[in-house]
């Protein structure tokens, strides 16, 4: 095979990209979802996607999510690679080349685990393991028996019911007294927070208006957005997703700002979030976190740690060296978004 042509994807490539994804991953991906997930929040005419071609046929693809981070008052642009797929007969150097190109677009690149084949590529293109992100979930109530009539997979219902019972048992003995100092206000396009910049040596993902507007366009989920306040301080954005089924709903804390190391503040924020999910009839909800004080608060309230993912980082300029981080899975939560 001659050297493949590697270029940015075009809108006329979408059908061929969709067929490639279906062939490699053996999943059906809707054109509407694909158009959204690789659309550029800052330029509607651009796709955040790289393709490799051989004889004018797409043989490899990788998309990416653009992200913004703050670290010691400096804004960093990041990328998160998604949908890396290569036709089996071409696997090897091509996947590495297009992945490397995506990883070099911004200041840093953050990835949450990925497939086994993808993880074999990471070290070859300069990624290293930054740490871990932890998934916690809790149940606010048990699933209703009526779900049996709508859920064709009885084992799935039993598994969900068992998990919910365990969640409720984890919480039933928890009584926590807190001072409700954190309050939430509906999002009104006010984002910038000088307080967010006061956390030294901490990398925090921090979505701007364009990223938030892009997230809202995911029409598979309901979005609920708030700003987080304490006294006169505005910490940043709280972004919640709700996935609705016929008889129940599931929630996800997609992003929450860094509010510091005060355990009472995190407990207060989580209680406020629980009220929102209860009012939206959510049976369960989940959150990913790396923040040690948030994780402590989750454990205090009886949330259950159900999964741990490795965080991989590409950081040629050593921005992240000897730094801590507050990451929320904002860039990588495609499973909950129905991918």
Fold of 5-126: Aminopeptidase (3.40.630)
- List alpha helices for the chain, DSSP H: 14-25, 31-37, 93-103, 116-121, 147-150, 154-171, 209-216, 263-279, 292-300
Most confident segment among 92-106, 135-149, 161-175, 263-277: 263-277
Beta bridge partners of 307: 135
- What is the C-alpha to C-alpha distance for residues 251 and 284, in angstroms, rounded to an integer? 6
Residue 200 has a pLDDT of 78
CATH class of 134-326: alpha beta
39 pLDDT higher than 80: yes
Give backbone dihedrals phi and psi of 235, rounded to 5 degrees, phi first. Answer: -80, -35
Give backbone dihedrals phi and psi of 30, rounded to 5 degrees, phi first. Answer: -70, 150
34 pLDDT higher than 60: yes
Q: What is the pLDDT of residues 178-189, one digit of tens each?
A: 767 899 999 987
Domains 5-126 and 134-326 are alike in CATH topology? yes
What's the average model confidence in pLDDT over 21-44?
Answer: 90
pLDDT band at 173 (very low <50, low <70, confident <90, very high): low
Residue 149 has a pLDDT of 46
Residue 253 has a pLDDT of 95
pLDDT band at 44 (very low <50, low <70, confident <90, very high): confident
Residue 339 has a pLDDT of 47
- What is the C-alpha to C-alpha distance for residues 47 and 69, in angstroms, rounded to an integer? 21
Single pTM value for the model: 0.86
What's the average model confidence in pLDDT over 227-244?
Answer: 90
What's the average model confidence in pLDDT over 219-246?
Answer: 88
Burial 157-180 (b: 16+ CB within 10 A, else e): beebbebbeebeebeeeeeeebee
pLDDT band at 153 (very low <50, low <70, confident <90, very high): low
pLDDT band at 192 (very low <50, low <70, confident <90, very high): low
67 pLDDT higher than 80: yes
What's the average model confidence in pLDDT over 293-301?
Answer: 94
Q: What is the pLDDT of residues 69-81, one digit of tens each?
A: 988 888 899 999 9
pLDDT band at 228 (very low <50, low <70, confident <90, very high): very high
Mean of the per-residue pLDDT values for the chain? 85
Helix or strand (DSSP H, E) at 319: none
**Could you tell me the end-to-end alpha-carbon distance of the chain, in angstroms, rounded to an integer?**
32
The answer to whether residues 210 and 66 touch, using CB atoms and an 8 Å cutoff, is: no
Domain ranges of the chain: 5-126, 134-326
- What is the C-alpha to C-alpha distance for residues 203 and 197, in angstroms, rounded to an integer? 10
């Amino acid at each position: 095979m001659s050297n493949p042509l590697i270029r940015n994807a075009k809108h006329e490539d979408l059908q061929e990209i969709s067929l490639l994804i279906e062939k490699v991953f053996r999943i059906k991906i809707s054109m509407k979802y694909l158009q959204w997930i690789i659309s550029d929040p800052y330029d509607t005419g651009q796709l955040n996607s790289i393709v490799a071609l051989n004889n004018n046929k797409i043989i490899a693809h990788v998309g990416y999510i653009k992200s913004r981070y703050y670290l010691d008052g400096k804004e960093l642009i990041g990328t998160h690679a998604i949908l890396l797929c290569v036709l089996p007969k071409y696997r090897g150097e091509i996947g590495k080349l297009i992945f490397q190109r995506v990883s070099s677009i911004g200041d840093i690149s953050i990835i949450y685990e990925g497939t086994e084949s993808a993880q074999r590529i990471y070290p070859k293109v300069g990624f290293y393991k930054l740490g871990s992100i932890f998934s916690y979930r809790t149940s606010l109530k048990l699933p209703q028996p009526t779900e049996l009539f709508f859920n064709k997979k009885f084992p799935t219902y039993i598994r969900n019911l068992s998990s919910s019972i365990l969640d409720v048992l984890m919480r039933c003995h928890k009584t926590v007294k807190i001072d409700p100092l954190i309050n939430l206000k509906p999002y009104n396009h006010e984002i910038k927070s000088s307080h967010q910049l006061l956390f030294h040596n901490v990398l925090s993902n921090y979505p701007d208006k364009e990223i938030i507007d892009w997230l809202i366009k995911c029409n598979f989920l309901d979005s609920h957005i708030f700003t987080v306040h304490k006294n006169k301080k505005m910490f940043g954005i709280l972004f919640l997703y709700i996935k609705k089924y016929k008889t129940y709903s599931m929630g996800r804390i997609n992003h929450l700002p860094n509010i510091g190391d005060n355990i009472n503040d995190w407990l207060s924020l989580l209680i406020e979030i629980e009220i929102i999910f209860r009012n939206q009839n959510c049976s369960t909800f989940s959150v990913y976190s790396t923040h040690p004080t948030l994780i402590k608060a989750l454990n205090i309230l009886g949330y259950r740690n159900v999964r741990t993912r490795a965080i991989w980082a590409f950081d040629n300029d050593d921005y992240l060296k000897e730094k801590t981080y507050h990451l929320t899975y904002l860039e990588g939560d495609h499973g909950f978004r129905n991918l």
